[in-house]
Amino acid sequence: MSDAVVTPSELARRTVRRSDFVSCDQAFIDCRTPGSDRKENYAMIGPGVSQSAGQYVNLREPHGYNIGAAAMPHGITNSLHLHYTAEVFVCTAGEYLLRWGADGTEGELTIRAGDIVSVPTWIFRGFTNTGPDDGWLFTVLGMDDTGGIIWGPSVLREARKHGLYLTADNQLLDTVAGDTLPPEAELVAPLAQEHLDRLRHYTPEEMRRRVAAADELEFSEHPFLDSTLPGGGARLSCVIGYGMTEDPHQEPRIFNPHGHNVAWLRADPGQGISTHRQHETQTLIVKDGLWEVTLNRTDPVSVRLGPRDMLSVPQDAWRTVRNVGDEQGDLLVVNSGDGRVRLEWDEEVLKSAADAGLGIDHNGYVAPYALLPRSARSW
């Protein structure tokens, strides 16, 4: 694996701060429907499922997933729709009510700050801001090309009353703004009942198993080789997929393939993850606290991130992550792929760990150094 050296300008380009987010209020076909007309859609990494040609995207290069956000005032609803790929909600502020089913009556649950919900593909879902106006939902969508979305039949019918139509290639047409409609056959029609009848149904109990609530998170105290070393000490909660854990006893809350994995990284002041790299793409999003990320082993470059700031870390780039704030902080980590993320540690970390009696076994997990075969010993 060759080193990926990150220049100061590239680090700046890959740093997306809260102040860099640009909303689009015409992203979807329900943007004029009363009760759904005051939504803000954001696309930070990839275009997501936006249907507006005017959607601003902070970083367009493929990561294996898309990251965006939804914001709306209290009482405003995101209408019923379904996805072809995974949709993960990460609530960092406020409260939202999620409902699902073809008519939105199969079940509902409340999402609060710190909760993560993975909504299954091929079911209709919608959500309403039931908290304060400044509630915030990050969204992580599976794959680079999400395929778009299918709207509930009632949503499409209501949108036409307000001059909005959707073409078969997922483009939003606005007759009020002067757009010309193609033949009816080239427009998206409401889903036929025969297709609605074939959709899977989820009980509230089944959906509840796809929630990682903030007050139910399970953190490994020793998820990494450097967990007991100076500069290490971060804890990890695997939410979706095994991801980057090196703790052989740790399991994720949600197992099924998403095309990415999601975890919470938690650290006290001065703690973090020592110098390492990985081949998968990675995005770091701050929930709370002040974090510093340093890239490169030679000619290091650093950036400090606060709440809602995010950093896209290039593949194969050496990195260290540290909480430089005064209080405990939480950081969302998104890595590409459905498999485990194998970390490559800097030689100094490997030597310090060996001195402390620890190493990495052939399965990629932390193990007693004295019990490892010579082929797994570096020192």
> 2-28 pLDDT, tens per residue?
778 999 999 999 999 999 999 998 878
* pTM as predicted: 0.95
Length in residues, the chain: 379
Task: Give the per-residue pLDDT at 1.
Answer: 66
pLDDT > 90? residue 375: no
pLDDT classification of 153: cutoffs 50, 70, 90? very high
Task: Give the per-residue pLDDT at 236.
Answer: 98
pLDDT > 80? residue 84: yes
Tokens linked to 184: 């009816």
Task: Give the per-residue pLDDT at 207.
Answer: 97
Q: What percent of the chain has a predicted confidence (pLDDT) above 90?
A: 92
Half-sphere exposure of 92 (CA within 13 A, CB side): 23
CA 158 centroid distance within chain: 31
Render pLDDT for 230-275 as a digit per residue (tens, 0 to 9): 999 999 999 999 999 999 999 999 999 999 999 999 999 999 999 9
Are 376 and 360 in contact, with CB atoms under 8 Å apart?
Answer: yes
Quote the radius of gyration of the chain (alpha carbons, Å): 22
pLDDT > 90? residue 377: no
pLDDT > 90? residue 374: no
> What's the average model confidence in pLDDT over 204-212?
97
Look at the alpha carbons of 71, 72, 73, 79 in this order and tell me if their dihedral is positive or negative.
negative
Q: List all residues 6 or more positions away from 272 whose beta carbon is below 8 Å from its beta carbon.
A: 231, 232, 233, 234, 291, 320, 321, 322, 323
> What's the average model confidence in pLDDT over 280-287?
98
Long-range pairs, 250-258, Cβ under 8 A, ≥24:
250/220, 250/223, 253/212, 253/218, 254/118, 254/209, 254/210, 254/212, 257/338, 258/65, 258/86, 258/88, 258/118, 258/140, 258/142, 258/338
Burial of 247 (0-12, 13-18, 19+ CB in 10 A): middle
> What's the average model confidence in pLDDT over 280-289?
98
Task: Give the per-residue pLDDT at 244.
Answer: 98
Closest CA to 47 of 67, 74, 77, 28: 67
Residue of 185 and 89 predicted with greater confidence? 89
> What's the average model confidence in pLDDT over 305-329?
98
pLDDT classification of 51: cutoffs 50, 70, 90? confident
Are 281 and 312 in contact, with CB atoms under 8 Å apart?
Answer: yes
Closest CA to 125 of 137, 108, 141: 108
| d(C-alpha 297, C-alpha 5), whole Å | 9
Pairing mode, strands 57-59 and 329-336: unpaired
Tokens linked to 264: 């919470």
Going from the N-terminus, what domains does the chain have, and what CATH number goes with each?
8-212 (2.60.120.10), 220-376 (2.60.120.10)
Render pLDDT for 167-180 as a digit per residue (tens, 0 to 9): 988 888 999 999 99
Closest CA to 330 of 210, 209, 211, 219: 219
Across the chain, mean pLDDT equals: 96
